């Protein structure tokens, strides 16, 4: 079925794929993508049979994070990143979510993937938490989930330096996730999904609920802290200038 620019595909009876394919915005957080993701995960939550979700993008893009319009809205104070709760979609999903990041994961797009239960990266693709490149401190729970998933030392570098890292480089840095050629990301995810679906659905849900409970508890505190940092860093004119320059307008 098609849900906006997000496609839901039942690969096998127990496995559903959620594919982001907003080619106009390169899977940035457009209104269409946000709506499609929220609607897709609502449908998954209501489905009585699914055991595993594979979240992926198209071609060389997984997700490229905030749009220029969205970032300027936050800079001007008309919206907050919490208005669209994309960062916790995978975390709040009752069944396991595999982020098959076959393409570039930029800013909030990369962070969104890290909230999944399982993460698979592409050797060729770029991954970055580039918030500070725009002059504002990270949001979307990045200051918690990036250190939690990748380790403090690497996360501090990613968050403060805001550089671009190929999957192959992150693999050399010892990240605890599979990094495979782009054309093998989805097959790898499907094999993992099949292993998960061998287990009873109620047991998968029960164990996930237990494992992510501490993440959910800490996330709410982190989000509040990030919003407070945004009040200090996001509303400067320099940030507005950086956003316009980096988006080429």
Q: Where are the domains of the chain?
A: 2-182
Torsion angle of C-alpha atoms 189, 37, 8, 219, degrees rounded to 10: 40
Asked whether the predicted pLDDT for residue 48 surpasses 80, the reply is yes
Q: Does domain 2-182 have CATH number 3.90.226.10?
A: yes
pTM of the model: 0.96
DSSP state of 25: T
Q: What is the average pLDDT score of the chain?
A: 95
Q: Indicate the range of 2-16, 21-35, 183-197 predicted with least confidence.
A: 2-16
The pLDDT assigned to 224 comes to 96
State percent of the chain over pLDDT 90.
Answer: 94
The pLDDT assigned to 4 comes to 76
Torsion angle of C-alpha atoms 95, 100, 103, 106, degrees rounded to 10: 40
Task: State yes or no: is 235 an active-site residue.
Answer: no
Asked whether the predicted pLDDT for residue 85 surpasses 90, the reply is no
Across the range 156-175, mean pLDDT stands at 97
The DSSP bridge pattern shows strands 61-63 and 179-180 to be unpaired
| C-beta of residue 64 within 8 angstroms of C-beta of residue 110 | no
Q: Which of 35, 188, 230, 236 is catalytic?
A: 230
Torsion angle of C-alpha atoms 196, 199, 49, 84, degrees rounded to 10: -50
Asked whether the predicted pLDDT for residue 249 surpasses 70, the reply is no
Tens-place pLDDT, residues 195-240 = 999 999 999 999 999 999 999 999 999 999 999 999 999 999 999 9
The pLDDT assigned to 21 comes to 97
């Amino acid at each position: 079925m098609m849900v906006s620019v997000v496609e839901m595909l039942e690969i096998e009876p127990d496995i559903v794929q959620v594919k982001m394919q907003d080619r106009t915005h390169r899977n940035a957080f457009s209104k269409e993508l946000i709506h499609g993701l929220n609607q897709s995960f609502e449908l998954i939550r209501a489905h009585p049979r699914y055991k595993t979700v594979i979240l992926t993008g198209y071609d060389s893009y997984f997700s490229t994070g905030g749009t220029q319009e969205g970032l300027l809205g936050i800079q001007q104070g008309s919206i907050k990143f919490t208005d669209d709760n994309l960062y916790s979609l995978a975390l709040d999903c009752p069944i396991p979510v595999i982020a098959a990041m076959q393409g570039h994961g930029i800013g909030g797009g990369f962070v969104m993937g890290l909230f999944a239960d399982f993460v698979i990266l592409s050797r060729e693709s770029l991954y970055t938490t580039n918030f500070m490149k725009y002059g504002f401190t990270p949001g979307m729970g990045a200051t918690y989930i990036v250190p939690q998933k990748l380790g403090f030392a690497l996360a501090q570098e990613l968050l403060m330096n805001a550089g671009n890292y190929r999957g192959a480089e992150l693999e050399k840095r010892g990240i605890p996730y599979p990094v495979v050629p782009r054309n093998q990301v989805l097959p790898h995810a499907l094999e993992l999904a099949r292993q998960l679906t061998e287990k009873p659905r109620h047991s998968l849900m029960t164990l996930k609920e237990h494992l992510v409970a501490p993440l959910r508890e800490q996330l709410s505190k982190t989000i509040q802290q990030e919003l407070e940092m945004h009040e200090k860093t996001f509303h400067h004119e320099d940030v507005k200038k950086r956003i316009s320059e980096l988006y080429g307008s």
